[in-house]
Amino acid sequence: MQIDLTGRTALVTGSTRGIGLAIAVEIARAGGRVAVNGRSRDSVARAVAAVRSEVPDADLLDATADVTTSTGVEALLRVLPQVDVLVNNLGIYEAVGALEIDDDEWRRYFDVNVLSAVRLIRTYLPGMTARGWGRVIDIASDSALVIPREMVHYGTTKTALLAVSRGFAKEAAGTGVTINSVIAGPTHTDGVEDFVYQLVDRALPWEEAQREFMRAHRPQSLLGRLIEPAEIAHLVTYLASPLASATTGAAVRVDGGYVDSIVP
């Protein structure tokens, strides 16, 4: 199976680290031009260097912008007026008691995790449909289906993102543009290491802390370990490719069997 994204431009939001960075690497490896996005030029520059260390001939673009605001998207459009592949990866999460989340925090989570994706789809989808080809991939989470007690606000926004993907897929029906969401399971990133240590003893070495976290807080996982970011990126790169032309409006799981269901 040959995945070739030569001639395609991809925007990956929140791609300065973690899953987003891994997606940028894999799309670049497949020959795509990648717009690396973050809020600061320093973080984007470091991410560009990290991608080039993996893919020396990568075609990369600095897409520094705060995509959670309309002014940020306007600035982004000046350097990136059109894309072929839009990966809405940007998201925030934190362990907080359900009764401790106030209205402002709920709004912040929806602004970042949901409305940033909606705004970018609304911005770039018309160009994709006019050209008759495009891919939109929204990075959701197992928390969209199994709402975690310690992150009700996060899980709720990821549930909303599944609906966003399905709804816009209907808008793009018959145009050659596919829109899907990816249900990512518990994944090993720097941010997740911090999250794990919010829930288990900080004195534990990382390997022990990870095992304790999975045993105590994610026992449903059939994989029995955290997923590596590249494993998420492999599926995203496939969905971004011409090979995934018949997959749209779907919620595709790469969750290590965490969600106890035989269908998404």
Task: State the residue for tokens 């990126």.
Answer: 233
Contacts of 139 (CB under 8 A, 6+ apart): 19, 87, 88, 89, 91, 181, 182, 184, 232, 236
Residue 221: name the closest of 260, 194, 261 by CA: 260
What is the Cα–Cα distance from 22 to 138, expressed in whole angstroms?
Answer: 15
What is the Cα–Cα distance from 99 to 89, expressed in whole angstroms?
Answer: 27
Which is the catalytic residue, given 93, 109, 124, 154? 154
Annotation says 154 is catalytic: yes
What is the Cα–Cα distance from 88 to 114, expressed in whole angstroms?
Answer: 9
Q: Which residues are catalytic?
A: 154
